[in-house]
Amino acid sequence: MVKKTNGKLDETTIGASCPLGPPDWRYRCKQCKHVFLMPAPKGPSEEKNRKCTKCGSAEIERIDLVTSEVCPPGG
Ligand SMILES: [Zn+2]
């Protein structure tokens, strides 16, 4: 018998061996070339307000998603 769940992801299966938080986005400022990390935004409007942490320019581009490198693969 298959028990139907409400579609909610079981959080214990996500990062169970890794106690660290969610991954960060890596951004690069087009003005000063400064590269910095910011936590993944909760919504598009939040990301729109992102600015360079060094010069304050809104001309930033997202490079990639940075997952935790501290947590060893496979434990
Ligand atoms: Zn900048």
User: Domain count of the chain?
Assistant: 1
Residue 18 in domain? no
20-63 pLDDT, tens per residue? 667 889 999 999 999 999 988 888 888 889 999 999 999 999 99
Residue 38 in domain? yes
Domain extent, residue 38, equals 23-75
User: Distance from the CA of 58 to the center of ligand 1, in angstroms?
Assistant: 8
Would residue 15 be called left, alpha or beta, if left means φ above 0 and alpha means ψ between -120 and 50 degrees? left
Paired with 24 in beta bridges are 39, 66
**What is the model's pTM?**
0.62
Residue 68 has pLDDT above 50, yes or no: yes
Residue 72 in domain? yes
User: Distance from the CA of 52 to the center of ligand 1, in angstroms?
Assistant: 5
Residue 14 in domain? no
User: Distance from the CA of 45 to the center of ligand 1, in angstroms?
Assistant: 20
User: Distance from the CA of 74 to the center of ligand 1, in angstroms?
Assistant: 37
CA proximity to 32, closest of 61, 47, 52: 52
Residue 10 in domain? no
Residue 3 in domain? no
CATH number at 56 reads 2.20.28
